[in-house]
Structure 1
């Protein structure tokens, strides 16, 4: 464990900074601050947003902490975010965030940039075996015995003016990130894990920066392996259409059309509006607005499947593979324990299943994509050894 209290004076200073954040609501002040922040080695970032009936998060507040001070940027008042985007892209400034996947999405969509380089304190904790997805509140308690009030978690961040309680909550979410970083970074360096963390965080940022429509979303349907080629082609086409339309209309995927409905359409492959209306949980609005389009997609995908069938998802492993999976998981746990890592960070069950399939299908063993990168040097030898011994 690495629990120890922050020096009283440091804790007091951070607490005071959270209680007295600067409200930034004009372009000139934001530009001046961003120019200054770009001269620093690190800044801490966080966001508050609303996401109820939209595909993309709506920015409600951006928090920045630097040099022991806290700033609350009002995205509803700022017109020119170019200086802030430049800060996000500035590779000379390390950006500190916690559990930042949705923050990255907001930055990429709203401001056209993702924080580079990035240090996610939640990711770092997983590498130090403090938990795979430790929350900010628990982390502060673990490291500093510091209680944090989370009562404003579900606030309306688009209302103006924000309450003092909201401002304080938002400031607390960012102001201690520098102290957390200073506690975690030396341990990562000592244990030779710094580059692993930075690699993992860079992959997170790059994935969000790409923000491409996943052509293989249909493979997320667990029962898709049961479908015939033409049904699978329909499911793939419908998934892609929904993704494109959800983004274009800025609405959640399931608000547009539910997964159960997509599955029903793929299985039934309706040819008429009457047949389409019988699909599971299909909405009347969907029928009237998109019915003809859906029928056209279904017809085209079905007819084209013979010449260009999509990749079929893998079948579930045979029951006899359960023992091998158990042994592989044990090997991963051993490596994780030796290295002080959260086992789930090192290898997911799906990665181990993919490894078994590769060996079974090709009569040779190699690591699937999920086990490459920094993970490969740790798990390749022990996993392949287990597979060879249990062949």
Structure 2
């Protein structure tokens, strides 16, 4: 039987009262339950907030206007505690025009406290407290109503202990001398545009991209931007709107007109009908427009370069672990490889987060000029 069942906000008036309480507290914990598989933007089914005194749930499926809560999260005077909060915070800038303002993510902070990154909430709670999060409801359909007491209690536990975790984490971080690094790393969740996905940055699940000409690449880039814009407009995932392989095929063999598009294999019929003229126009405009810059290619690494990288990588990881910083929070091998191979080829060092902020200062003793701060 559920105990300590949290209250449930189901009206705009109740939410405004709750927001006033959270604002007065000056800090609150925040989490969400959402479904994201069928839409471009997640569908929020339940929101959880907590102060030191109490936890409360908000039911967006009851038609509650959530804008006052998003505006609160954008207020720099109020701290929002989250755990792995990237997706939970996504609506703030999109719906208010302002990014989240004062965020403390316990998953990020734990990476400076001698704990793994990323660390689940359950694992972190077990490591630092005696609290019991209860039975796992990972596969719960949060759209179903009414919400049972045990489900409400489970949801509330996602925020109920975040303030305590923050206190315990800060103690461990201070012991290791990393207190100033935590807010700097958390500020990445407050950067304008941090939640806007770049359609050119993802890896395509398709064949045929290797060795593309610059003109073909220009067409593909234009199609990627177009696909994302239309997926947002139709509120569907980009790959559900149009598959990566189809997009690459369109770039390799651009349809000249509507008739050519209608005969194009793999394009869904509704897309062919609705965008018969638009897709060929996107391809033509990109092919006739400016070409993307040539990709900078370093010479293939020598065996000596590979051996150097293989020697540096474990040393950097051990250096981080000895300092109580999770290596996977600090860096990944791909970004270290880019620096090592550029240096070996005598090329300018590429832009890298390893050359900025706390990472550059921390890595200087072991990587030296490889992490020279960016100008």
Indicate the TM-score class for this superposition, using the shorter chain for normalisation.
Answer: 0.7 to 0.9
Task: Say which of 287, 305, 328 aligns to 2:272.
Answer: 287
Partner of 2:360: 376
In 2 relative to 1, CA 378–201 (structure 1 residues): closer, same or farther, beyond 3 Å? Answer: same
Partner of 2:333: 349
Partner of 2:124: 139
Over residues 180-204 of structure 1, what are the superposed CA-to-partner deviations in whole Å (9 max), with x where a residue is unaligned?
1111012222322222121111112
Structure 1 residue 150, shift from structure 2 partner = 5.2
Partner of 1:119: 104
Provide the rounded CA distance (Å) in 1 between the counterparts of 2:115 and 2:308: 28
Task: Say which of 289, 310, 330 aligns to 2:292.
Answer: 310
Provide the rounded CA distance (Å) in 2 between the counterparts of 1:177 and 1:231: 49
In 2 relative to 1, CA 313–130 (structure 1 residues): closer, same or farther, beyond 3 Å? Answer: farther
Provide the rounded CA distance (Å) in 2 between the counterparts of 1:312 and 1:71: 54
Provide the rounded CA distance (Å) in 2 between the counterparts of 1:229 and 1:356: 27
Provide the rounded CA distance (Å) in 2 between the counterparts of 1:236 and 1:258: 14
Of 184-193 and 213-222, the range deviating more from structure 2? 213-222
TM-score by length of 2: 0.86
Structure 1 residue 162, shift from structure 2 partner = 1.9
Whether the 8 Å contact between 2:50 and 2:159 is mirrored in structure 1 is: yes
The within-5 A match list for 1:1-391 is 19-77=4-62, 79-110=64-95, 114-144=99-129, 146-149=131-134, 151-206=136-191, 209=193, 211-212=195-196, 214=198, 216-217=200-201, 224=209, 226-272=211-257, 276=261, 281-304=266-289, 308-315=290-297, 318-320=300-302, 321-356=305-340, 358-359=342-343, 363-365=347-349, 368-384=352-368
Segments of structure 2 that go 5 or more residues without pairing to the other structure are none
Provide the rounded CA distance (Å) in 2 between the counterparts of 1:276 and 1:249: 20
Which structure carries more helix by proportion? 1
Q: Which secondary structure does the structure 1 equivalent of 2:57 belong to?
A: strand
Of 60-69 and 278-287, the range deviating more from structure 2? 278-287
Of 244-253 and 267-276, the range deviating more from structure 2? 267-276
Provide the rounded CA distance (Å) in 1 between the counterparts of 2:134 and 2:295: 45
What's the C-alpha RMSD, in Å, of the aligned pairs?
A: 3.0
TM-score by length of 1: 0.83
Provide the rounded CA distance (Å) in 2 between the counterparts of 1:36 and 1:330: 49
In 2 relative to 1, CA 272–353 (structure 1 residues): closer, same or farther, beyond 3 Å? Answer: farther
Provide the rounded CA distance (Å) in 2 between the counterparts of 1:162 and 1:184: 32
Q: Deviation above 6 Å: which 4+ runs of structure 1?
A: 218-223
Segments of structure 1 that go 5 or more residues without pairing to the other structure are 1-14
Structure 1 residue 367, shift from structure 2 partner = 6.0
Whether the 8 Å contact between 2:113 and 2:324 is mirrored in structure 1 is: yes
